[in-house]
Amino acid sequence: MNTAELLVQCLENEGVRYVFGLPGEENLHVLEALKNSSIQFITTRHEQGAAFMADVYGRLTGKAGVCLSTLGPGATNLMTGVADANLDGAPLVAITGQVGTDQMHIEAHQYLDLVAMFAPVTKWNTQIVRPSNTPEIVRKAFKRSQSEKPGAVHIDLPENIAAMPATGNPLKTDKLERTYAAFHSITEAATAISNAHNPIILVGNGAIRADASEAVTEFATQLNIPVANTFMGKGVIPYKHPLALWSVGLQQRDYINCGFDNTDLVIAIGYDLIEYSPKKWNPDGKIPIVHIGETPAEIDSSYIPLVEVVGDISDSLYEILKRADRDDKPDPYALELRADIRADYEQYANDDGFPIKPQKLIYDLRQVMGPEDVVISDVGAHKMWIARHYHCDRPNTCLISNGFAAMGIAIPGAVAAKLIYPHRKIVAATGDGGFMMNCQELETALRVGTPFVTLIFNDGGYGLIEWKQRNQFGSSSFVHFGNPDFVKLAESMGLKGYRVEATIDFIPILKTALAQDVPAVIDCPVDYQENYRFTQRAGELNCIV
């Protein structure tokens, strides 16, 4: 047995089902070891796509997704997806090939110090230099990756070490033990919540990772406290729940900002500052905060909790619920916002303008997708509209890259999602800019048998940047480009291609595309004049207590 074979045994021991990556000279021994493994190697068309697949796999399952590259340009291509996983709290293990240790002291072909390079974008990384250390390194990598807050780790394997004889066995895996909050912090939190007149819950992705959706919903319902979610906290409370205020996080003001303007207590549950900066909703640091999470609060001048309840989120919520009393409190002001938020959403139900308004496109998408189906949003102007208008019944049914906000994630992410959920409908929602960054992975999707729909919001430019340019400077520059015929492009790859030419046709086309046994692409012209109309309305928004 060589080191590469021992490494693969350790990956099997960790329950790894897929490794996403590209073959290269310096990872040949790992690829050879994978040939006889229970692990399926998914050959991608670009290392960035491989890392995004591992990223989304980790976010959906809670188990580290694994990606593999060779050294040099392969490793640098991998970094964007690795960084995305790290900032978005998705467990990921990246493995890179490397020149032999006997060449590292000279200017070797394609050599980079990958341990140094990956250090800023990972929780931990190392290089295997002794074959016998492989089991310890792999076990530590997975434990660190999957521990709260999850993130990316990196293992660098020189080609001469990979070929060396190795002895040893995979180490026993362990379960992460639950920790429980101190009773004094639970009591202090219950007191603060009982005394508040207009509290609001801000829930983030940490509540999804902790599987705390049921506890959050019961907590809010019993105490009659409205709930706003971050982009990454969608679905923690069902969007049809009467206390759900939907998503907060747009850089412009929105209805939900009025709730934060008039609250006297924010209960932050599983909230990470990177999801939506507290300087946006608590600029003066004057709003009292109860922090409920599995890790202590980050240091920020706008986020200084009155109480920190650190431990298992569900247990903390149930314990606070036993001690809190809000029976004599009036309904929170924020509840009055729900009618306005709902009315704004519903006004596009019968809009037949064309090109399609993004609000209408997302409204119709929601009508077709079931409660367990998954939408993966790329990054661009459409992301802001999906964040605002695509609402969820369940956690992890709308995935948005928000910490790193990396363009190109949707298509490779949809491949991973379909591997995990082969019987669910999966839609990759992307702009035409993001589509062209990783559309090559549609060939991967076809080859590995993961039929999903790619919905292109087509505006012929980098719409989000144009939106910001026009807001800031009154004009735009360098943001427009030409596109190929997306339908013909899809067909040339053996996929199904569709073009929306009238608003009324979108739902029938989407249903047809979702029924195909191969990946499908829908080219849909979108009216991004709505971006500027929204900015104007947001500027006119007044909060009345």
User: In this structure, what token pair is assigned to residue 44?
Assistant: 């991608």
DSSP-assigned states of every residue in 14-42? TT--EEEE---GGGHHHHHHHHTSSSEEE
For the segment 359-389, what is each residue's pLDDT rounded down to a tens digit?
999 999 999 999 999 999 999 999 999 999 9
For the segment 405-450, what is each residue's pLDDT rounded down to a tens digit?
999 999 999 999 999 999 999 999 999 999 999 999 999 999 999 9
For the segment 49-75, what is each residue's pLDDT rounded down to a tens digit?
999 999 999 999 999 999 999 999 999
Asked whether residue 264 is assigned to any structural domain, the reply reads yes
541 band by pLDDT with thresholds 50, 70 and 90: low
Give residue 330's pLDDT: 67
Distance CA 364, CA 34 (A): 43
Q: Say whether both 152 and 227 belong to one domain.
A: no
Asked whether residue 238 is assigned to any structural domain, the reply reads yes
In angstroms, what CA-CA distances link 498 with 507, 518, 519? 12, 13, 11
Asked whether residue 338 is assigned to any structural domain, the reply reads no
Cis peptide before 355 (omega within 30 of 0): yes
Q: Say whether both 139 and 225 belong to one domain.
A: no
pLDDT of 105 above 80? no
DSSP H or E stretch at residue 184: helix 183-195
Give residue 534's pLDDT: 83
Asked whether residue 473 is assigned to any structural domain, the reply reads yes
Task: Decide if 453 contacts 460 (C-beta within 8 A).
Answer: no
DSSP code, position 233 = G
Q: Which of 333, 363, 385 is the last residue of a domain?
A: 333
Phi-psi region of 211 (alpha: psi -120 to 50; beta: other; left: phi over 0): left
pLDDT of 335 above 90? no
User: In this structure, what token pair is assigned to residue 190?
Assistant: 């219950």
Residue 484, number of CB atoms within 10 A of its CB:
12
CATH of the domain at 80: 3.40.50.970
In angstroms, what CA-CA distances link 544 with 181, 334, 352, 397? 38, 11, 33, 34
For the segment 84-100, what is each residue's pLDDT rounded down to a tens digit?
999 999 999 999 999 88
Asked whether residue 173 is assigned to any structural domain, the reply reads no
> Would the CA dihedral through 93, 95, 101, 107 be positive or negative?
negative
Q: Say whether both 321 and 438 belong to one domain.
A: no
Q: Say whether both 369 and 285 belong to one domain.
A: no
Q: Which of 277, 307, 333 is the last residue of a domain?
A: 333
The closest of 77, 75, 84, 53 to 66, measured between CA atoms, is 53
Q: Say whether both 112 and 260 belong to one domain.
A: no
Give residue 337's pLDDT: 83
For range 493-514, the mean pLDDT: 98
Q: Say whether both 352 and 274 belong to one domain.
A: no
Of the listed ranges 10-19, 173-182, 254-263, 360-369, the one predicted with least confidence: 254-263
539 band by pLDDT with thresholds 50, 70 and 90: low
Q: Say whether both 276 and 320 belong to one domain.
A: yes
Q: How many domains does the chain have?
A: 3
DSSP-assigned states of every residue in 425-472? -EEEEEEHHHHHHHTTHHHHHHHHT---EEEEEE-SB-HHHHHHHHHH
Cα-Cα-Cα-Cα torsion 376, 379, 382, 383, nearest 10 degrees, comes to 70
Instruction: Quote the domain boundaries for residue 146.
Output: 3-163
Asked whether residue 341 is assigned to any structural domain, the reply reads no
Distance CA 388, CA 359 (A): 9
Average model confidence (pLDDT) across the chain: 94
CATH of the domain at 274: 3.40.50.1220
Helix pair angle (28-35, 3-13), 10° resolution? 50
Task: For residue 530, report the phi and psi dihedrals to the nearest 5 degrees.
Answer: -65, -25
Name the residue with tokens 């080609």: 159
Q: Which of 163, 196, 215 is the last residue of a domain?
A: 163
Q: Say whether both 329 and 352 belong to one domain.
A: no
pLDDT of 110 above 90? no
In angstroms, what CA-CA distances link 539 with 249, 284, 386, 533? 16, 20, 20, 10
Q: Say whether both 133 and 191 belong to one domain.
A: no
Q: Say whether both 351 and 323 belong to one domain.
A: no
Q: Say whether both 142 and 218 belong to one domain.
A: no
Q: Which residue has the higher pLDDT, 244 or 259?
A: 244
Task: Decide if 265 contacts 287 (C-beta within 8 A).
Answer: yes
Asked whether residue 271 is assigned to any structural domain, the reply reads yes
Q: Say whether both 203 and 308 belong to one domain.
A: yes
Asked whether residue 169 is assigned to any structural domain, the reply reads no
In angstroms, what CA-CA distances link 145 with 62, 63, 85, 90? 10, 9, 10, 8
